[in-house]
Chains A and B, each alone.
Chain A
Amino acid sequence: MKRPGWVNIDFIVGFSLLGLVAGGVLLGPLLWPVDPYHQSIAHVFQPPLESGEHGNLYPLGSDQLGRDLLARIIAGTRISLVIVTLAMLIAAPLGVAGGVLAGLFGRWTDATIMRLVDIQLAIPFILLVMMIVAVLGSGMANLIIVLGITGWAVYARVARGQVLSIKNLEYIEAAQALGSSRLRLILRHILPNIMTPLIVLITLDLPRLVILESAMGFLGLGVQPPTPTLGNLLGEGQAYIFTSWWLVVFPGTVIAMLVVAFNLIGDWLVQVTNARIE
């Protein structure tokens, strides 16, 4: 069969969707400079394309306090993306470190770390996150830390498998024979060679974090209102779903767009790099 080329449908659609959302987040405040916190009691629950005070338009409608939904989605998407990125930046290094140690040292180190992975994966993720947030208190910093610390297990598993598959190759032996220290071995020889599957894993893990963050917001255990995040917007809108559908439909659409984009880019990366991350 023909080897798939660099540019395929996954690539085009994935990056267009991501570009659309990223463009909205970056340029949105310039193109649509409306304060996401500005309330207007006279214009609550305006449907999309209805005009508000001074004849200003509500392109996506307004919420229960008369705030502009488009402005809130722009602001909320940005906050959600920041949370998700920071959480990933905690989870990935933590998991990769654990996985590399387990794969390289074997024996008890391996057994201990892999049992920790099992323990982590046995607890229903959303319950675990909910429990910890309930104890620590909600808020942006806590949410990032909890999502980050609980997200390490998958990275550890993949990194360990990758290390096991390369650690007996000749160039690793050669590096050891030349007397490189373990730290140097890991940083110079192992990490660069297991990077590709890890990057693929990150693109496939980000959508999971997006959904998880919005679930926490939806349950009221994420960032506290009035700060908008995609999950908060959905959670707040849920109460008015039967009268104001736009409060639920639009934020959810953005979440779905983000997740589709990351999944497609991940699929595309799997195809072009031939990475196996099982």
Chain B
Amino acid sequence: MVQYIAGRLAQAIIVLLGVSAVVFFALFLTGDPAVLMMPPDASRAELDAFRRAMGFDDPMVVQYGRYLWRALHGDLGSSLRFQQSTLSLVFERLPATVLLAVSALCWSTLVGALAGIVGALKRGTYVDFGVRLIALLGQAIPVFWLGLLLMLVFSLYLGWLPTGGYGRWQQLILPSLSLGAYYMSSMTRLGRASMIDVMAQDYILTARGKGLTEPSVVLKHAYRNSLIPVVTVLAMHLGQLLGGAVITELIFSWPGIGRLAIQAIYTRDFPLVQAVVLLSASIFVFVNLAVDILYVVLNPRIRI
């Protein structure tokens, strides 16, 4: 087990190094990052000064080494626009993103898994058909379109909910709904498939053979086992959601790291873009690592 965990840890570190390299070298795709970051009307002298200040004159390897060294010390550079540490900017915005991601994940998992299981139990009926239809639509509707439609209906026509902002609980509902819809669909599909799988197992037959009542068979024997894949995917979704709320945050003016990233891209504030990408990728890697380790600890079959 220790060996497995050490191996996974090494893998995670390699992946993070790779991500940092991608994030770092992406700036050099056009050749000159100074031209990229400075306003188009900057003079040659200004460009030279900027290059010296940022250290762009050094060999690439030296620059990358310096970038890594600073990153390890918690310094991801400073934002060109805000003139302050990018890391502190990102951490300021992180709680809003976490709130949005976690709320979207909670409702989508609860509703999705439940709908999937009901669909599986009522397989072939209209209930099942409805469940599959909703799952299909939830995956097909792009998050930004759903966001706009929800805004159109609930803010404009019904006037029940605000169109955006952050602070009150009413402002969380629409972003959370539009962000979670896709994940609800995927949970529904997964929960349904998993439950159908479980209901065909021998131990369900045994449980019925023992003369247990149907609710007891479903709740005690089938339901719990059908949740195993749901929990695995849950963790993957959390990693994705923390980095993937860009568009939802933009539409609903939600002050999270996704909106920070896109504003940084529009203003060509590349150190800030790098920081957001590196940090979201790190969160993704660590969440997955934690889940893998938890899995080994919890599941005796993997623990050899």
Contact yes or no, B141 A134, CB < 8 A: no
User: Which of A136, A207, A214, A252: most chain B Cβ within 10 A?
Assistant: A252
Contact yes or no, A124 B29, CB < 8 A: no
Given the complex of chains A and B, what is the CA–CA distance between A249 and B156 in angstroms?
14
Contact partners of A260 in chain B: CB under 8 A: 136-137, 140
20 residue pairs A–B, Cβ–Cβ below 8 Å: A115-B18, A116-B18, A119-B22, A122-B15, A123-B23, A124-B243, A127-B280, A130-B265, A131-B273, A132-B26, A135-B270, A137-B30, A215-B142, A219-B250, A219-B262, A238-B148, A241-B152, A242-B152, A249-B152, A256-B145
Least CB distance from A228 to B in Å reads 16
Contact partners of B19 in chain A: CB under 8 A: 119, 122-123
Extra contacts, 14 of them, besides A130-B261, A259-B141 (Cβ < 8 A), are: A115-B18, A116-B18, A127-B258, A127-B277, A127-B280, A128-B277, A135-B26, A135-B30, A218-B144, A221-B265, A242-B156, A256-B145, A259-B139, A263-B140
Is B268 on the interface with A (CB-CB < 8 A)? yes
Is B285 on the interface with A (CB-CB < 8 A)? yes
Of residues 219 to 278 in A, which have CB atoms within 8 Å of B's CB atoms? Answer: 219, 221, 234, 238, 241-242, 245, 248-249, 252, 255-256, 259-260, 263-264
A interface: dominant SS: helix
Q: Which residue of B lies closest to A117 (CB)?
A: B15
User: Which of B145, B258, B280: most chain A Cβ within 10 A?
Assistant: B145
Contact yes or no, B36 A135, CB < 8 A: yes
Is B1 on the interface with A (CB-CB < 8 A)? no
Given A116-B18, A124-B244, A219-B247, A136–B29 Cβ distance below 8 Å? yes
Contact partners of A123 in chain B: CB under 8 A: 19, 22-23, 243, 277, 280-281, 284
Contact yes or no, A249 B261, CB < 8 A: no
Contact partners of A89 in chain B: CB under 8 A: none
Given the complex of chains A and B, what is the CA–CA distance between A245 and B148 in angstroms?
10
Is B276 on the interface with A (CB-CB < 8 A)? yes
Contact of A218 among B139, B244, B247, B268 (CB under 8 A): B247
Of residues 117 to 153 in A, which have CB atoms within 8 Å of B's CB atoms? Answer: 118-119, 122-128, 130-132, 134-137
Contact partners of B136 in chain A: CB under 8 A: 260, 263-264
Interface size on B, residues (CB 8 A): 46
Contact yes or no, B145 A252, CB < 8 A: yes
Is B184 on the interface with A (CB-CB < 8 A)? no
Is B78 on the interface with A (CB-CB < 8 A)? no
Q: Which residue of B lies closest to A212 (CB)?
A: B142
Of residues 1 to 52 in B, which have CB atoms within 8 Å of A's CB atoms? Answer: 11, 14-16, 18-19, 22-23, 26-27, 29-30, 36
Contact yes or no, B284 A124, CB < 8 A: yes
Given A118-B15, A234-B145, A241–B151 Cβ distance below 8 Å? yes
Least CB distance from A217 to B in Å reads 10
Least CB distance from B212 to A in Å reads 24
Q: Which residue of B lies closest to A221 (CB)?
A: B265
